[in-house]
A = this chain, B = another copy of it.
Amino acid sequence: MKIAISGKGGVGKTLLASLLAKTFAESGYSVLAIDADPDSNLAATLGFPDSDKITPISEMKELVEERTGARPGRAESFFKLNPKVDDLPEKYSLKHNGIRLMAMGRVKKGGTGCYCPENALLQALVTHLLLARDEVVILDMEAGIEHLGRATAKAVDKLIVVVEPGRRSVETAYKIDKLAKDIGLHNLAIVGNKLRNPLEREFLISNLPGFEFLGFIPYDQALVDADLANLPLLNSSQQIINEVKNIYQALLPIAQTPNPRN
């Protein structure tokens, strides 16, 4: 099963990715979590020790050069568009509590250089992880689907868009839906997050007509307090855990369908 998670910044993509990874792992699935959002820290939320010391793939300059033939940061280089990546998951992933993690990193765009070699490597790696691996793969993305393309769209069993009660995150959901349809990805579903009252739930349902809703996660001050006190987030709110378990249950029928690509 391959699950991609997107949505506006700050809506809670990483929390949902982490709790889903944990739930699948505790149920006996082999789980690969991919951090493809440079504005978050999936490793920290999953409780990986020394999560701030993990070097993401995009910053491994020697590796990028070895595989693509081009040194990152040099403008107008020629490089391989299909670098070898199948050995990278074993070499450059970490494991903790039964969850394997890979950090993709930020693709730098600044300066005068043209930083495409990292892009080529990350693109090839994500394609490999989605097409060739048979774990439960959970991809925590930015507010877009930049890591996906026509080649990987069919492999994504569910693209979950997280929204919160607010017009901007709903607008982002529509943008993501359009980008997804452009590449032939139609398995999109919504998860509402940070809900404070039934009116906010109603707001999401009425502003996203025709969308499948996988679940609604409540706002819980206990999570904020745990964060400020630097306590582990994943165990801080039983009501959030319960709701993510419902979302997991809703996803299970997909997981149990024989994989048409095998």
Binding site for B on A (CB under 8 A): 8-11, 14, 38-41, 44, 52, 75-76, 78, 81, 106-112, 114, 116, 119-120, 123, 142-150, 165-168, 171-172, 183, 199-200, 203, 224, 227-228, 230
Contacts and interface: CB of A to CB of B under 8 A. Distances in A.
Nearest to A52: B171
Contact of A110 (B75, B110, B116, B149): B149
A114 B112 contact: no
26 contacts: A8-B9, A8-B39, A9-B39, A9-B143, A38-B143, A38-B144, A41-B171, A44-B171, A76-B78, A106-B144, A108-B146, A109-B146, A110-B123, A110-B146, A110-B147, A110-B149, A111-B123, A112-B123, A112-B149, A114-B119, A114-B120, A116-B116, A166-B228, A167-B227, A199-B228, A200-B228
A82 to B, nearest CB: 9
A62 B203 CA distance: 40
A183 B108 CA distance: 13
A142 B110 contact: no
Nearest to A14: B168
A224 B166 CA distance: 7
A224 B219 CA distance: 14
Nearest to A77: B76
A168 B33 CA distance: 19
